[in-house]
Structure formats: structure tokens, C-alpha cells
């Protein structure tokens, strides 16, 4: 087994959560890499949907944006954006929403809008895009992000998209019928919500990672499952698939006019 980076482990662990039966709304960045590694390894029949309206897409390189031409060329169907959000997302046809996050709290609430006060922001982030409705209309939500104390915080500055709110049955109280965040994959660990409190709990540490490392890079006091597991290391096939995909992507995007 060759060496692998924490980021590679994160992407591969995330890819393993997906199956050929899933219909997955794909966020750009880390989720996009994970979804395509899944498609190229163990989940060839997964339906990947990007918010640009491409349904069942199979790109050869990772898109730089959610609307790259290749997503459309390789898709089963491409629909208008209002249709995407009305018939497909709001209509309840998507089983998994896969999101990244700038800031997240222990209940899987996500902020990608502002750091600081909304009206006088310290940093203005891009905003929600499709996320507010992806978070409540998809059957369940997977989240992936790199651990850091500034991104995993006790209290997020803005609820761009709703996870489990204050925990417990908060979703139900708001009339939300979908499951919300059920899986969080970081560069160090796999987390799942506690069945009752809904607080994300570490269920598996990636190879070589210690509990202390997970705590040092997280802004809240981390809970660990009693039967803590070790995430299996990436296989040769998984690593090769991911690296080849990233290499093809790098060549395609840097190429610009030469491409």
C-alpha cells in the first residue's frame, strides 16, 4: 500500500458511502471528487445530478464549475434550472445531497454566507446557492470538509442551510420531513449523528489518526463512539482512480486555450 494524504483519505472515505442505487445532488469541490470516484469504482450506476440541470452525468474530468459543458454532454438528460429545483429537488426525487461547508457546527448546520455580522461582514462568502433547499428536500445529507478549528465551530455565524438545528427533533418541529445530515466525512474521521441528540459523533478514525488530533482541529468538545473503528486505508484501485481523475482534471483546467 502506497502512502496517501489526509485529503485523499477523506475523498475516498466519502466515495465509499455512495452506492449505485443513489440519486445524488452533487456540490462542487470535495463532494464532486468523491461522487465521481464512487462512480468510477464501486458505484457505476449512481445518478449524479448537478444544479445546472444535468441529470445522470458522467464527466471524464472534474468540472471546475457546476455547469461545465462536459456535464451536459455526458448526461442522460439536461433540464432547465427551474425544473431542476421544482420537479427534481422539491419533488423529492433525490436521495442524497452531498455538500461541502465553510463553517459547520456539531448538529450539521452549515454556513457558507458570511463570517461575522450579515450586514457588516468580516468576510463575505459566496452564499447558499442551491444549499438551503438541498438541505431540506433531499432524503438525507452527507457533508465533507477538512477539519480546522475555524471551520468546525461551536456556533456558526449564519444558518445558510439547516442541519439538525439545536439537535433532537428540531427538524420535525419545523415541519421538515427529510433526515438531514446523516454522515460527516473529514480528513481525519467519519462522524454520524447521535440517534437522539443528533450531535455528530466520531465513529471511525482514519488510519494513523489519534483522538487528540481530531479534538485539536475541532472547535467543540468531540464525542467518540464507544465502539470506535478504524477507517480502512484506501485501496490501490481507489487511490489510482482518484489520482488519475485529479491529474486529468488539472491538465484540462490549466490548459485553457491549449486544451
Half-sphere exposure of residue 166: CA atoms within 13 angstroms, side-chain side: 3
3-state secondary structure of 138: coil
Nearer to other proteins, 3 or 257 (CB): 257
Half-sphere exposure of residue 49: CA atoms within 13 angstroms, side-chain side: 27
Residue in 12, 40, 89, 141 binding other proteins, rule: CB under 8 A = 89
Nearer to other proteins, 2 or 65 (CB): 65
Nearer to other proteins, 44 or 116 (CB): 116
Nearer to other proteins, 26 or 202 (CB): 26
137 binds other proteins (CB under 8 A): yes
Going by their DSSP bridges, the two strands 103-104 and 181-185 should be labelled as: unpaired
3-state secondary structure of 238: helix
Rounded-to-integer distance, Cα 97 and Cα 233, Å: 25
Site string for other proteins, 174-213 (x = CB under 8 A): xxx-------------------------------------
Binding span for other proteins by CB under 8 A among 36-44, 71-79, 93-101, 193-201: 71-79
Q: How far is the CB of 184 from other proteins (least distance, A)?
A: 18
Rounded-to-integer distance, Cα 79 and Cα 82, Å: 8
Give the bridge partners for 54, in sequence order.
Answer: 50, 78
Active centre residues (catalytic): 51
Amino acid at each position: 500500500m502506497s502512502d496517501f494524504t489526509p485529503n485523499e483519505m477523506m475523498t475516498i472515505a466519502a466515495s465509499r458511502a455512495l452506492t449505485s442505487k443513489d440519486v445524488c445532488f452533487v456540490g462542487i469541490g470535495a463532494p464532486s471528487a468523491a461522487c465521481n470516484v464512487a462512480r468510477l469504482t464501486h458505484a457505476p450506476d449512481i445518478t449524479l445530478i448537478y444544479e445546472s440541470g444535468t441529470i445522470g452525468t458522467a464527466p471524464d474530468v472534474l468540472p471546475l464549475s457546476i455547469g461545465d459543458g462536459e456535464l451536459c454532454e455526458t448526461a442522460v438528460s439536461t433540464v432547465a434550472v427551474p425544473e431542476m429545483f421544482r420537479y427534481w429537488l422539491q419533488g423529492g426525487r433525490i436521495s442524497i445531497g452531498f455538500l461541502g461547508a465553510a463553517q459547520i457546527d456539531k448538529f450539521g448546520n452549515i454556513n457558507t454566507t458570511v463570517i461575522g455580522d450579515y450586514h457588516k461582514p468580516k468576510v463575505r462568502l459566496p452564499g447558499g446557492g442551491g444549499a438551503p433547499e438541498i438541505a431540506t428536500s433531499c432524503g438525507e445529507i452527507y457533508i465533507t470538509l477538512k477539519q480546522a478549528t475555524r471551520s468546525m465551530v461551536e456556533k456558526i455565524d449564519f444558518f445558510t442551510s439547516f442541519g439538525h438545528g439545536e439537535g433532537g427533533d428540531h427538524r420535525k418541529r419545523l415541519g421538515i420531513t427529510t433526515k438531514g445530515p446523516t454522515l460527516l466525512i473529514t480528513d481525519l474521521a467519519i462522524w454520524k449523528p447521535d440517534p437522539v441528540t443528533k450531535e455528530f459523533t466520531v465513529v471511525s478514525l482514519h488510519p494513523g489518526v489519534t483522538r487528540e488530533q481530531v479534538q485539536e482541529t475541532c472547535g467543540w468538545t468531540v464525542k467518540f463512539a464507544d465502539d470506535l473503528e478504524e477507517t480502512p486505508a484506501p485501496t490501490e484501485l481507489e487511490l489510482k482512480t482518484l489520482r488519475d481523475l485529479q491529474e486529468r482534471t488539472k491538465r484540462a483546467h490549466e490548459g485553457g486555450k491549449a486544451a
